[in-house]
Structure 1
Amino acid sequence: MPQVALPHDAKAGPTKPEIRAMSIEKLALGPSDHVVDVGSCTGAVTIEAARRAGRVTAIERKPDRLDVTRKNLAANDYDAAVSLREAEAPAGLPDDADAMFLGGSRNFTEVLDHAVETGVDRLVMNVSRVEVAGEAIEAFRERDLLSEVLQVQVNHGYELAGATSFKADNPVYVLVGARGGDE
């Protein structure tokens, strides 16, 4: 599978490739799945999901970021039917999703409520702030969704004085959920 091309900037960092790979793997997407990307921003997760799922709905509240998602989708190959919706979640969320990725922390409790009400099977939420991670873990637990919590730290090697050193990316909390949880 070719790398995701993101030639258009959303003035916000995309979900890093290593974190995307883990998040998409945890969603266990198949060709008959309908997945929702809440807070699509650059479209990086939307593109990865569209390479695995049958349908993708990308929700983004900022029109300029939704336009970036659209442009970055056009720069990549994928097979899924993709629908883009300008809305602040939970508005605009479909009622027939199998899986959901939450890339932002805005209104996440309402988004989780929608996921429970509509029977979403699998959820992944990426969080970079410790306080929000704690709130999100509790919200997943309260809704009997929490399957696992991962803290992921990625380090990239670079040349330093003829040897290899490492530069760390910020850690990310990856919350994985499923109906009925299983923590």
Structure 2
Amino acid sequence: MPRVALPHDAKAGPTKSEIRAVTIRKLDLRPDDHFVDVGSCTGAVTIEAARRAGRVTAIERKPDRLDVTRKNLGENEYDAEVSLREAEAPTGLPDDADAMFVGGSRNFEAVLDHAVETGVDRIVMNVSRVEVAGDAIDAFRDRDLLSEVLQMQVNHGYELAGATSFRADNPVYVVVGERGAGGDA
């Protein structure tokens, strides 16, 4: 599968490719799934999902970012039926999703409530701030969703004085949920 092309900028970093790979794997997307990307921004996760799921709904509250999602979708190949919605979640969330990615922390508890009420099977939320990660873990646990928490640190090599050194990206907490998980992650 070709790499995701993101030539259009949303003035907010996309979920990095290494984190996307783990996120998509944890979502376990299938061709008959309806996937929802909450906070699509650049469309990076939307595109990855559209290569695996049959239907994808991308929700973004900022019109300029939704336009970036649209443009980046146009630069990539995928087979899914993709719907873009300008809305602030949980408004605009479909009632028939199988899997969901929560890319931002705004209103995430209401998004999780909607997911529980509508029977979403798999949910992943990526968080970069420690305090929000703790809140997200508690929210997943309180809703009987928490199955796993990962803390990921990616470092990229670069040349320094004729040798290789590494530049670290900020750590990302990947909070993984499944309906009725009841786990003690």
TM-score (norm 2): 0.98
Counterpart of 2:172?
172
Counterpart of 2:78?
78
Q: Does 1:95 align with 2:92?
A: no
Counterpart of 2:157?
157
Amino acid at match of 2:137: I
State the 1:124 CA deviation. Answer: 0.2
Counterpart of 1:9?
9
SS at match of 1:68: helix
SS at match of 1:124: strand
Counterparts of 2:150 and 2:88 in 1: how far apart (Å)?
Answer: 27
RMSD: 0.5
Equivalenced residue count is 183
Counterparts of 1:33 and 1:41 in 2: how far apart (Å)?
Answer: 21
Amino acid at match of 2:27: L
State the 1:52 CA deviation. Answer: 0.3
Counterpart of 2:58?
58
Counterparts of 2:125 and 2:179 in 1: how far apart (Å)?
Answer: 14
State the 1:43 CA deviation. Answer: 0.2
Amino acid at match of 2:9: D
Task: Spell out structure 1 runs of 4+ moving beyond 4 A.
Answer: none
Counterpart of 1:128?
128
Counterparts of 2:42 and 2:133 in 1: how far apart (Å)?
Answer: 22
State the 1:167 CA deviation. Answer: 0.4
State the 1:163 CA deviation. Answer: 0.9
Counterpart of 1:145?
145
State the 1:162 CA deviation. Answer: 1.0
Q: Unaligned regions of 5+ residues in structure 2, if any?
A: none
Counterparts of 1:9 and 1:167 in 2: how far apart (Å)?
Answer: 22
Counterparts of 2:107 and 2:60 in 1: how far apart (Å)?
Answer: 13
Counterparts of 1:135 and 1:175 in 2: how far apart (Å)?
Answer: 11
Counterparts of 1:178 and 1:131 in 2: how far apart (Å)?
Answer: 22
Q: Percent identity?
A: 85
| 1:45-64 deviation per Cα after TM superposition (whole angstroms, max 9, x unaligned) | 00000000000000000000
Counterparts of 1:101 and 1:9 in 2: how far apart (Å)?
Answer: 20
